Structure 1
Amino acid sequence: MTATVSFTIDSPLGPGTATVAYERKGAGEPLLLLHGIGHHLQAWHPVSAVLAAEYDVIAVDLPGFGASEPLPPGVPYGLETVAPALGALCAAVGAERPHVAGNSLGGLLALEMGRLGLARSVTALSPGGFWSEPERVYAFTALRAMRAGARALPRPALERLARSVPGRAALTGTIYSRPGRRAPQAVVAETLALRDATGFEQTLAAGASVRFGHDLPGLPVTIAWGSRDRLLLPRQGVRAKRTIPGARLVRLRDCGHVPMNDDPALVARVVRETALGAAHAGA
Structure 2
Amino acid sequence: MKQVQTRVGPLAYAEQGSGTPLVLLHSAGHDHRDFDAILPQLAQRHRVIALDWPGFGGSPAPQPASALSASLVGEVLEDAVAALGLERAVFLGNSVGGMAAARLAARQPGRVRGLVLVSSGGFTPMNAVTRAFCRVQGREWVRRHTGRWFARAYLRRRNAHTAEILQRFEATHARPATLAAHAALWRSFAEDASSVSQEARAIRCPTLLAWGRHDPVSRSKVEGRCAREAIAGARYVEFDTGHMPFAEDPPAFLQELLPFLDGLPA
TM-score range, shorter chain: 0.7 to 0.9
2 CA distance for matches of 1:116 and 1:183?
33
In the alignment, structure 1 residue 36 sits paired with structure 2 residue 27? yes
Paired residue secondary structure (2:237):
strand
Q: Which deviates more, 33-42 or 214-223?
A: 214-223
C-alpha deviation, 1:184, in angstroms: 4.7
1 CA distance for matches of 2:169 and 2:183?
17
The TM-score, its normalising length taken from structure 2, stands at 0.82
Counterpart among 165, 174, 179 of residue 158 in structure 2: 179
The TM-score, its normalising length taken from structure 1, stands at 0.78
Distance 1:267 1:140, change over 3 A: farther
Distance 1:97 1:187, change over 3 A: same
Counterpart of 2:115?
A: 122
Counterpart of 1:258?
A: 244
Give the partner amino acid of 1:4. Answer: K
Counterpart among 135, 145, 148 of residue 144 in structure 2: 148
C-alpha deviation, 1:93, in angstroms: 3.3
Is the contact made by 1:18 and 1:72 (CA closer than 8 Å) also made in structure 2? no
Counterpart among 14, 20, 29 of residue 23 in structure 1: 14
Paired residue secondary structure (2:36):
helix
Is the contact made by 1:123 and 1:274 (CA closer than 8 Å) also made in structure 2? no
In the alignment, structure 1 residue 85 sits paired with structure 2 residue 83? no
Counterpart of 2:170?
A: 191
The superposition leaves residues 170-214 of structure 1 with CA deviations (integer Å, 9 ceiling, x where unpaired) of: 574312111344465543222223443142122222221222222
Paired residue secondary structure (2:188):
helix
1 CA distance for matches of 2:49 and 2:163?
25
C-alpha deviation, 1:80, in angstroms: 4.2
* Structure having the higher Rg: 1
Paired residue secondary structure (2:117):
strand
Q: Which deviates more, 84-93 or 109-118?
A: 84-93
Identity fraction in percent = 26
Counterpart of 1:206?
A: 188
Counterpart of 1:164?
A: none
Distance 1:104 1:195, change over 3 A: farther
2 CA distance for matches of 1:104 and 1:21?
19
1 CA distance for matches of 2:185 and 2:6?
20
C-alpha deviation, 1:4, in angstroms: 3.1
2 CA distance for matches of 1:270 and 1:191?
30
In the alignment, structure 1 residue 49 sits paired with structure 2 residue 28? no
Is the contact made by 1:181 and 1:262 (CA closer than 8 Å) also made in structure 2? no
1 CA distance for matches of 2:82 and 2:217?
33
Is the contact made by 1:40 and 1:193 (CA closer than 8 Å) also made in structure 2? no
2 CA distance for matches of 1:258 and 1:146?
22
Q: Which deviates more, 137-146 or 210-219?
A: 137-146
Distance 1:56 1:39, change over 3 A: same
